[in-house]
């Protein structure tokens, strides 16, 4: 499903346009970035999709179990908080061994995203599997699209 999402993103798609990406990096003040946009690779990655009756938020947070992510909604802003230790159980011993790459996120994070209007927070649900959290946010009844029957005159 995530494969075709790139066209929805106003930003740069990875790999597809390396030259523009490079230009944007070199002349970074050319374009204005959204004040709340995040750099590529922020942890956790978030995808948002919409169906007729709900908004679905997918949080890609590898290594987090059910109780490790705190999800809250206030004034249509969804906030995700948590902590992810890149290499658990290795405080002292970890420092002693040679490390070649350290790209994975380590530590605490807080991320917020704005939701569309009209979410029924009371009926929101979330579940997780394989490091992905799915948050289901139903729309309020009165905001669901309704089919209007045409009456015969």
Positions that interact with other proteins (CB under 8 A): 1-6, 8-9, 13-16, 38, 40-42, 44-52, 54-56, 58, 60-65, 86-87, 94, 97-105, 113, 116, 130-132, 134
**Six-digit token pair at 127?**
């579940």
Name which of 77 and 87 has its Cβ closer to other proteins. Answer: 87
Considering the complex, what minimum distance in angstroms separates the CB of residue 141 from other proteins?
Answer: 18
Name which of 31 and 49 has its Cβ closer to other proteins. Answer: 49
Name which of 29 and 130 has its Cβ closer to other proteins. Answer: 130
Q: Which residue, 59, 109, 62, 70, is CA-closest to 87?
A: 62
Give how far Cα 65 sits from Cα of 11, 116, 145, 147, 153, Å.
31, 27, 35, 41, 59
Considering the complex, what minimum distance in angstroms separates the CB of residue 153 from other proteins?
Answer: 33
CA distance 39 to 42: 6
């Amino acid at each position: 499903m995530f494969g075709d999402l790139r066209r929805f993103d106003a930003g740069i798609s990875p790999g597809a346009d390396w030259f523009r990406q490079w230009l944007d990096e070199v002349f970074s003040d050319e374009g204005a970035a959204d004040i709340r946009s995040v750099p590529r690779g922020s942890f956790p990655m978030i995808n948002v999709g919409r169906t007729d009756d709900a908004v679905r938020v997918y949080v890609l947070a590898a290594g987090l179990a059910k109780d490790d992510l705190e999800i809250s909604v206030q004034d249509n802003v969804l906030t995700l908080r948590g902590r992810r230790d890149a290499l658990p159980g290795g405080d002292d011993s970890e420092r002693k061994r040679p490390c070649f790459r350290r790209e994975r996120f380590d530590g605490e994070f807080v991320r917020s995203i704005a939701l569309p209007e009209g979410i029924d927070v009371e009926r929101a649900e979330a579940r997780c599997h394989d490091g992905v959290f799915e948050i289901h946010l139903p729309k309020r009844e009165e905001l669901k699209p309704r089919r209007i029957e045409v009456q015969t005159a």
